[in-house]
Amino acid sequence: MISIRAISTLVFSITLAACTAEDKNKTIMETRAEVPAEPAGKVVKTDEEWKKLLTAEQYHILRESGTERANGEVYKEFKHQGEGTYHCAGCKALLFSSKEKFDSGCGWPSFYDPAKAENVILKKDVTMGMARTEVVCAKCGGHLGHVFSGEGYKTPTDQRYCINGGGLIYVPAKEQPAK
């Protein structure tokens, strides 16, 4: 006779396998084929409007200054993305590009400079018992991550913009026709 424990283990295993198989086909960082229209000015929405517009993860990152898990699926996806641009998931403003992307090994998407500096604001952040510099979208005020300087990376700026990939939209570069 099969025990209840054995049946429970079997059901749990099948459920877990089904969820894992489904997750492998799902992209974590939002990806779009076309470059989104940039906002002309500041984007102001109520909390309820943001909740309707964003996924739960995007809302947590952008509106609650949340942080995604280090070395998670977003980071793995980011490491395999080719040329393209990265836009704010909240307002679609251009923030970073693959030209400034580098692998810092920190577990989060890293850039050494913004693609469009006027769309990024740096703010002093003294949360979590340390002084850091927060990176915020200039158009909608969404939290993106933090920037660190003087860590010795061999980049043109010696800066590491440590960004939450879940708060970004990736747009792959279009292939140029052969001449």
State the CATH number of the domain containing residue 69: 2.170.150.20
The pLDDT assigned to 1 comes to 52
Respond yes or no: is residue 162 known to be catalytic.
yes
pLDDT recorded at residue 10: 38
**Residue 20: pLDDT over 50:** no
Let me know if 62 is exposed, middle or buried by CB neighbors in 10 A (0-12, 13-18, 19+). buried
Residue the block writes with tokens 């679609």: 92
Task: Please indicate, yes or no, if residue 159 is contained in any of the structural domains.
Answer: yes
- Secondary structure element (H or E) that encloses residue 47, with its range: helix 47-53
Give the per-residue pLDDT at 123. 97
Confirm whether 179 is domain-assigned.
Answer: no
Q: How far apart are CA 130 and CA 38, in angstroms?
A: 34
Instruction: Decide if 157 is inside a domain.
Output: yes
CB-based burial label for 109 (10 Å; 0-12, 13-18, 19+) = buried
Residue 13 within any structural domain of the chain:
no
pLDDT grade for 24, boundaries at 50, 70 and 90:
very low
pLDDT value at residue 160: 97
Task: Determine which one of 91, 137, 140, 162 is catalytic.
Answer: 162
CB atoms within 10 A of CB 100: 18
In a domain, 114, yes or no: yes
pLDDT digits (tens, 9 = 90+) for 116-162: 999 999 999 998 888 999 999 999 999 999 999 999 999 999 999 99
| 176: confidence class by pLDDT, cuts 50, 70, 90 | low
**Entry pTM:** 0.82
What total of structural domains would you count in the chain? Answer: 1
144-153 pLDDT tens trace: 999 999 999 9
d(CA 48, CA 32): 24
Mention every residue, 6+ apart, whose C-beta is less than 8 A from residue 1: none
Q: Is residue 24 part of a domain?
A: no
| Per-residue confidence (pLDDT) for residue 17, from 0 to 100 | 36
**Segment 45-103, tens digit of pLDDT:** 999 999 999 999 999 999 999 999 999 999 999 999 999 999 999 999 999 999 999 99
Is residue 18 over pLDDT 50? no
Domain enclosing residue 122, as ranges: 30-172
pLDDT at residue 9 in the model: 41
Residue 20 resides in a domain: no
Is residue 4 one of the residues assigned to a domain? no
**CA 32 to CA 50: how far, in whole Å?**
20
